[in-house]
């Protein structure tokens, strides 16, 4: 029997949502911008975002009544940027949601959809871990037991599947995007640790912040990448090194079968991906080539998060 789920992938700048079947195929997909600073009030923003997720879920239910009712519908999966606690269903001072602190987002969303007469359960997971689950479900990691998905977008997330299970403890973990890679920068500004992490250097937010330090006045990565000014080449060089170090650390820590890249910034991979793989190979072979693994673009690409979210009710 065909079964269905709704997947919601909440990030710092967008919300992606899909209705998926048991094969991981999307019957419908929507992506909308999410401005986490619009109201100037974290509590008001939380209410708007939760209402938005509920409204989209209800829209799927209205337009696909057969797929979203009865035993064929398995539930709603919510994947979000973290840090977060999957067991408690809470965001825990999430980096990309200013001022949110500790928010029981799973239960708040479930209460909102049930208030609208949608009697279903909400399942919750870290967005990069959801992306890794998606890659194992319908992507390039099928049949693998230990692998990672690195999501490069507004932030840098790491979804790590180790011996067949998400590498998390007490509902938390797999936050390797926050690994420090710039020791000199940390020494100079120890109060700004985030600027010196993989995410601080290789994420969309990090690239824009560093570009503005060099004089960039635009608002988006798209604008930045259209510039021919070579002074910005350093940004992508540093990005390739930071991601190479992340992959190196994951490899020697877990002896992975493969590492996959996904997320919004794979669309500019020509600027960093080839160099990243070269740096990674040089680093890992100096230590022990037995730890080396292939690095590829995820087959689920930038839909990994929402597909993974739709997989959560099936676990």
Q: Per residue in 54-83, is it b (16+ CB within 10 Å) or e — as a string?
A: bebbbebbeebeebbeeeebbbbbbbbbbb
Q: What's the mean pLDDT when you consider all of the chain?
A: 96
Q: What is the pLDDT of residues 36-58, one digit of tens each?
A: 888 889 999 999 999 999 999 99
The mean per-residue pLDDT over the stretch 147-164 comes to: 96
Q: What is the pLDDT of residues 239-280, one digit of tens each?
A: 999 999 999 999 999 999 999 999 999 999 999 999 999 999
3-state secondary structure 10-48: ECCCEEEEEEEECCCCEEEEEEEECCCCCCCCHHHHHHH
Phi, psi for 246 (deg, rounded to 5)? -60, -45
Query: Is residue 106 a contact partner of residue 92, using CB atoms and an 8 Å limit?
Result: no
pTM of the model: 0.93
Q: Given a cut of 90, is residue 105 above it in pLDDT?
A: yes
What's the burial of 258, exposed, middle or buried (CB within 10 Å: 0-12/13-18/19+)? Answer: middle
Count CB-CB contacts under 10 A for residue 88.
Answer: 16
The mean per-residue pLDDT over the stretch 201-229 comes to: 95
pLDDT band at 96 (very low <50, low <70, confident <90, very high): confident
Longest dimension (CA), the chain: 60
Query: Is residue 118 a contact partner of residue 57, using CB atoms and an 8 Å limit?
Result: yes
Share of the chain above pLDDT 90, in %: 95
Distances in Å between the Cα of 54 and the Cα atoms of 30, 107, 308 are 13, 12, 19
Whole-number pLDDT of residue 247: 98
Q: Given a cut of 90, is residue 23 above it in pLDDT?
A: yes
Domain 140-298 is found in CATH 1.10.3720.10: no
The mean per-residue pLDDT over the stretch 128-143 comes to: 97
Alpha helices in 64-203 (DSSP H): 105-115, 127-138, 183-188, 198-202
Q: Given a cut of 90, is residue 12 above it in pLDDT?
A: no
Q: Given a cut of 90, is residue 283 above it in pLDDT?
A: yes
Q: Per residue in 184-212, is it b (16+ CB within 10 Å) or e — as a string?
A: ebbeeeeeeeebbbbbbbbbbbbbbebbe
Q: Per residue in 277-313, is it b (16+ CB within 10 Å) or e — as a string?
A: bebbbebbeeeeeebbbebbebbbbbbbbbbbbbbbb
Q: Where in the chain is the domain with CATH 3.30.420.40?
A: 4-130+304-314, 140-298
Residues forming beta bridges with residue 77, ordered by sequence position: 7, 123
CA nearest neighbour of 246 among 149, 103, 116, 161: 149
The mean per-residue pLDDT over the stretch 19-32 comes to: 97
The DSSP line for 255-309 is --SEEEEESGGGGGGGGTHHHHHHHHHHHHHHH-GGG--EEEE-TTGGGHHHHHH
Give me 222's structure tokens.
Answer: 């798209």
User: Which value, in Å, is the radius of gyration of the alpha carbons in the chain?
Assistant: 19
Give the DSSP letter of residue 101: -
Q: Given a cut of 90, is residue 95 above it in pLDDT?
A: no
CATH of region 4-130+304-314? 3.30.420.40
Tokens 């540093």 map to which residue? 238
């Amino acid at each position: 029997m065909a079964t269905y789920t709704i997947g919601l992938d909440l990030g710092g700048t967008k919300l992606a949502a899909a209705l998926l079947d048991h094969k991981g195929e999307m019957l419908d997909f929507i992506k909308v911008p999410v401005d986490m600073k619009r109201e100037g009030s974290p509590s008001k923003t939380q209410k708007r975002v939760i209402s938005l997720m509920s409204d989209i879920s209800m829209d799927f239910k209205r337009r696909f009544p057969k797929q979203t009712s009865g035993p064929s519908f398995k539930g709603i999966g919510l994947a979000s940027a973290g840090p977060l606690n999957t067991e408690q269903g809470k965001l825990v001072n999430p980096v990309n949601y200013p001022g949110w602190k500790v928010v029981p987002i799973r239960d708040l969303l479930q209460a909102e959809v049930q208030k609208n007469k949608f009697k279903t359960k909400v399942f919750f997971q870290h967005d990069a871990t959801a992306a890794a689950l998606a890659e194992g479900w319908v992507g390039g990691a099928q049949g693998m037991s230990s692998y990672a998905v690195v999501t490069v977008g507004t932030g840098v997330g790491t979804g790590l599947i180790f011996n067949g299970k998400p590498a998390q403890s007490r509902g938390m973990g797999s936050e390797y995007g926050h690994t420090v890679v710039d020791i000199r920068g940390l020494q100079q500004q120890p109060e700004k640790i985030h600027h010196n992490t993989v995410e601080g250097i290789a994420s969309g937010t990090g690239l824009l912040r560093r570009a503005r330090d060099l004089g960039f006045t635009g608002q988006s990565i798209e604008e930045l990448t259209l510039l021919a000014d070579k002074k910005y080449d350093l940004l992508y060089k540093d990005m390739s090194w930071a991601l190479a170090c992340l992959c190196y650390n994951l490899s020697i820590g877990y002896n992975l079968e493969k590492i996959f890249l996904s997320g919004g910034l794979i669309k500019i991979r020509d600027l960093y991906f080839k160099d990243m793989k070269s740096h990674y190979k040089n680093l890992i072979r100096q230590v022990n080539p037995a730890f080396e693994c292939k690095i590829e673009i995820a087959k689920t690409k930038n839909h990994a998060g929402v597909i993974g979210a739709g997989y959560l009710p099936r676990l």
